[in-house]
Amino acid sequence: RFHAYREAELKELGCNAILAVNQGSSEEAALVVMEYEPRPGDEKTALVGKGLMFDAGGYHLKSIDGMKGMKYDMCGAAEMLEMMEYLVTRKVRKNVMAVLMLAENVINSDAVKMGDVITTLAGKTVEVYNTDAEGRLVLCDGITFAQRMGARTVIDLATLTYSAQSALGDQVVALFGNDREALRTW
């Protein structure tokens, strides 16, 4: 199953975090859902991917060097899409849902600004302090959406952050979780 929620549906759902991040873009944001259910009725795992098609940093504009490679800020969503293809091709017997959060973080007169307060899909209000901290906003709506769709386990993947790369280098990944069994299984 596949469904792409666009601007009007995202507003109706209350996905204000992804919509806020995307306010500066002339392209519509999208929350794309793909479901693979070889075992109907069994638990479902959600793979949530950050898909920033370009991240200029919003009003906290990145330097020219900092913007190099920001077209790759969509790699979290791309990897989750690849994971879905792998699971289906290999006929893995797990119920999995991919939630791809697609947006741009650019500037125009409508872009989200420092001090704006938004209400996320989770019902939490967030005051924007740094417009270049958009990843946590899009993922907040994506993770909440996945939970509401019945996912017991949620795995998110994002190109976060330069700090992790600075601490660990290019050959190690930062992995955080609160469910050791889920981490072992995946």
Please indicate, yes or no, whether the overall pTM of this predicted structure exceeds 0.75: yes
pLDDT per residue over 53-101, tens digit each?
A: 999 999 999 889 888 888 988 999 999 999 999 999 999 999 999 999 9
Per-residue pLDDT tens for 126-143? 999 999 999 999 999 999
Concerning whether 62 is annotated as a catalytic residue, the answer is yes
According to the model, what pLDDT value does residue 160 have?
63
**Bridge partners of residue 96, in order along the sequence:** 36, 45
pLDDT of 121 higher than 90: yes
Catalytic residue among 94, 113, 136, 152: 136
58: how many CB neighbours lie within 10 A of its CB?
A: 25
Task: Tell me whether residue 184 is one of the annotated catalytic residues.
Answer: no
Model pLDDT for residues 144-158, shown as the tens digit of each residue = 999 999 999 999 987
Catalytic residue among 50, 62, 71, 91: 62
Q: How far apart are CA 133 and CA 26, in angstroms?
A: 20
Per-residue CA distances from 169 to 24, 31, 86, 136, 161 (Å):
32, 31, 27, 22, 11
CA-wise closest residue to 1 among 31, 35, 30, 32:
35
Residue 86, φ and ψ in degrees, nearest 5: -60, -50
Tens of pLDDT, residues 2-58: 999 999 999 999 999 999 999 999 999 999 999 999 999 999 999 999 999 999 999
